[in-house]
């Protein structure tokens, strides 16, 4: 989608919704709008019904976890306008104890999407008529897509032939895979140490700082 078209769409939405929109960005030919959490239902209903927008298909609702922030989650709504042949992404911020208004009253598919976000991230949606787990078991502990959740989980299940049923057992590992610094333990393939290779030993011969002029 041309940059000018996306910019015109963003400015039209900002002008129409006023303070409900906090800003926008255009990244890789995609329009990303940031909205106030309390206004998300009004924003999405406008995007669906306004004849200049017609984003009538809610493709997905997901979230991103930023544990260092006070409101650690970005809840992300992806919509498509078949009439305008255009996509838009709307983001709102939310905390662990700050529910997001449901949009299921006018996007019926949002009931399941919001359930998935609740199950995976623990973000609550007020007025959702059926907010319960959808991918994990009813007795599951935690929310698997939060950054602090261990990759192995807390329990594992297996079939017990003696009890003739599935049983849950605590995960026991020698090494605890729960914290990563995202740095490679290997040196670069060249004589230049690249970002991410800081844990490696710098080559004794031929190493140079990439910032230095040759």
Domain segments of the chain: what residues? 3-136, 181-214
Tell me 38's DSSP state: G
Give dist(CA 20, CA 210) in Å, integer. 45
Structure tokens given for 183: 């740095």
For residue 143, give the nearest of 111, 182, 165, 115 by alpha carbon: 115
The dotted CATH code for 3-136 is: 3.30.460.80
214 residues of the chain, pLDDT tens digit each: 789 999 999 999 999 999 999 999 999 889 999 999 999 999 999 999 999 999 999 999 999 999 999 999 999 999 999 998 999 999 999 999 999 999 999 999 999 999 999 999 999 999 999 999 999 887 788 999 999 998 878 888 889 999 999 888 888 766 555 555 566 555 545 556 666 666 555 555 555 566 665 5
């Amino acid at each position: 989608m041309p940059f000018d078209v996306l910019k015109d769409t963003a400015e039209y939405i900002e002008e129409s919704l006023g303070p409900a929109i906090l800003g926008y960005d255009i990244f890789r030919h995609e329009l990303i709008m940031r909205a106030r959490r309390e206004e998300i239902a009004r924003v999405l209903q406008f995007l669906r019904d306004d004849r200049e927008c017609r984003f009538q298909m809610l493709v997905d609702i997901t979230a991103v976890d930023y544990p260092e922030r006070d409101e650690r989650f970005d809840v992300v709504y992806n919509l498509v306008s078949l009439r305008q042949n255009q996509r838009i992404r709307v983001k709102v911020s939310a905390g662990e104890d700050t529910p997001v208004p449901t949009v299921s009253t006018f996007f019926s598919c949002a009931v399941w999407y919001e359930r998935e976000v609740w199950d995976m991230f623990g973000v609550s949606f007020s007025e959702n008529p059926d907010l319960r787990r959808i991918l994990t078991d009813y007795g599951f502990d935690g929310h698997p897509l939060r950054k602090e959740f261990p990759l192995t989980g807390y329990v594992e299940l297996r079939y017990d032939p003696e009890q003739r049923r599935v049983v849950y057992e605590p995960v026991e590992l020698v090494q605890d895979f729960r914290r990563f610094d995202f740095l490679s333990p290997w040196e670069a393939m060249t004589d230049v140490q690249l970002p991410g290779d800081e844990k490696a030993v710098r080559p004794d011969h031929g190493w140079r700082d990439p910032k230095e002029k040759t």
